[in-house]
Amino acid sequence: MIFAAADQVLTVSQMVAAEERLMTAGTDVHELMQRAGRGAAKYVWRTSAGARQGYGVTVLCGPGNNGGDGYVIAEAIRERGGTVQVVAARDPGTDAAKRAASLYRGPIVGAVHARGGILVDCLFGSGLNRPLSDEFEALLSGLAARHDRAIAIDVPSGIDSDTGALLAGKLPHYALCIALGAWKRAHFLMPAMACWDLARLVDIGAARDVASAIAVGKPVLSAPARDAHKYRRGLVVVIGGAMPGAALLASRAAAHCGAGYVKLVARDVAGAPDWLVAHETGDGDLAAALADDRIAALLVGPGLGRDDNARARLNAGLESGRHLVIDADGLMLLEAPAHTSLSGAILTPHYGEMLWLERHFGLATDAAKPARALALAEATGAVVVAKGPDTVIAGPGGQLSFASSAPSWLSVAGTGDVLAGLCAARLAVTVDAWTAANEAVWLHAEAARRAGPAFHAGDLADAIRPALESCL
């Protein structure tokens, strides 16, 4: 997959390496800080209409290079004629921060006197490596309370940039978080990503790191080929089970997402809509139904149940040798060592299913979400879509991608079934689990954006079509 530097999601050590490469190529740290700070200042300036009427910007500067960025931002706002002041939590400690501070020609005030429109938080950035002291936490929250809005530079001060974990008891809420140089993992992970409303990226010229994770990007899709027919476009078979509604919903999503043919094989197909080809199958004749060579992808799990019949239907799917999407109840029936070679499959666990799978595959549950998703992908051989407000996609070869924040209206029953149907349709079309999972996650979030507030899962399935249209 080809991706641009702006799509990369870096760990702190990858960011440091990227900065070192820029410096080796001749850009010194002072220049990088100027690019970062001045880029961020543009966003601060736009956000701070009040600063131009004397209701100013306060920049809280810490001792490291994040604090250095703060002096650059403050000076850029001052040069534009804005009202700005700096609160120095500590004296600048790095050479670059000292130089940036020496170039700032505006006022430095004590924290108790600082109040105004915008607080720019440059206390700590990606260098924060231990919990914030009570003193710093009180300083930050006191200042935030005396300003209308807060903006975080790079990351809020009190966030672990690699894991998104909080390193403070309580953090202010930020209107904006401005990532510098590249996205960090915390920009896509809970609880960090709940700390701000909007996130923006400032480019400082960091090149693409091929080993890095990526942000899930908008897919580029095309209409079916001139000579397309329904089988060539992809036949998706959805294996139904005890609860027909979930499998129907997944089928509807698959039908709206580019598959040429969606077939539901279930024990009770009465009530299937007329656009759906439904076949009544007991456990005995399921294997025969799955022997059709034209099947491009199979979905098993939504509404499957967890009894012996469900297990038999899952096993028929597994034994068919087809490209598989396993969701919901299907995941709850997986176990090691029987299911450790699911190469080419997509697993779509939510938080509870993830925990269950980890227990059954003997995996640790105390790491950050990306590491957990990677471990499950490695243990099963499948692509893992670890769902939630911070969806992470991991591949068995170590591939990792992070979904941008999706509408929280998705937290309603049945949206997981819709995602499973999307995965199956994209798998049938692309025949590549990694590509399919990424496309499906993007389309799911876009459908949610288009569905507006308070949708139900059926509305979401219907919003897939306009979401897909936007990618043509």
Ligand X SMILES: NC(=O)C1=CN([C@@H]2O[C@H](COP(=O)(O)OP(=O)(O)OC[C@H]3O[C@@H](n4cnc5c(N)ncnc54)[C@H](O)[C@@H]3O)[C@@H](O)[C@H]2O)[C@@H](O)CC1
Ligand Y SMILES: Nc1ncnc2c1ncn2[C@@H]1O[C@H](COP(=O)(O)OP(=O)(O)O)[C@@H](O)[C@H]1O
What is the smallest separation between the CB atom of 350 and ligand Y, expressed in angstroms? 4
What is the smallest separation between the CB atom of 167 and ligand X, expressed in angstroms? 7
**Cβ-contact 195, 173 below 8 angstroms:** yes
Q: How big is the site for ligand X, counted in residues (CB under 6 A)?
A: 30
Q: What whole-number distance in Å separates Cα of residue 29 and Cα of residue 352? A: 45
Q: Does 162 bind ligand Y (CB under 6 A)?
A: no
Q: Does 72 bind K ion (CB under 5 A)?
A: no
What is the smallest separation between the CB atom of 188 and ligand Y, expressed in angstroms? 12
What is the smallest separation between the CB atom of 353 and ligand Y, expressed in angstroms? 8
Q: Does 34 bind ligand X (CB under 6 A)?
A: no
Angle of helix 244-255 relative to helix 415-430, nearest 10 degrees, comes to 50
Cβ proximity to ligand Y, 33 vs 392, nearer residue? 392
Q: Does 154 bind ligand X (CB under 6 A)?
A: yes
Q: Does 73 bind ligand X (CB under 6 A)?
A: no
Which phi and psi angles does 268 have, rounded to 5°? Answer: -140, 100
Q: What whole-number distance in Å separates Cα of residue 235 and Cα of residue 298? A: 9
Q: Cα dihedral sign for 111, 115, 116, 117?
A: positive
Please select the residue that binds ligand X; options are 9, 11, 19, 441, rule is CB under 6 A: 19
Residue 318 is encoded by which pair of tokens? Answer: 């597994």
Binding at 217: pick from ligand Y, K ion, ligand X, none (beta carbon under 5-8 Å per type): none
- Residue 320 labeled ligand binder: no
Q: Which residues of 295-334 are buried (b: 16+ CB within 10 A; e: fewer)?
A: bbbbbbbbbbbeeeebbebbbbbbebebbbbbbbbbbbbb
Residue 367 CB partners (closer than 8 Å, separation 6+): 375
Terminal-to-terminal C-alpha distance of the chain:
18
Cis peptide bond upstream of 273, omega within 30? no
What is the smallest separation between the CB atom of 48 and ligand X, expressed in angstroms? 19
- Residue 125 labeled ligand binder: yes
Q: Which residues are annotated as a binding site?
A: 65-69, 121, 125-131, 154, 157, 246, 303, 350, 387-391, 416-417
Q: Which residues are annotated as a binding site for AMP?
A: 387-391, 416
Q: Which residues bind ligand Y (CB under 6 A)?
A: 328, 350, 387-389, 391, 406, 408, 410-411, 413-417, 419, 444
Q: Which residues bind K ion (CB under 5 A)?
A: 121, 125, 153, 157
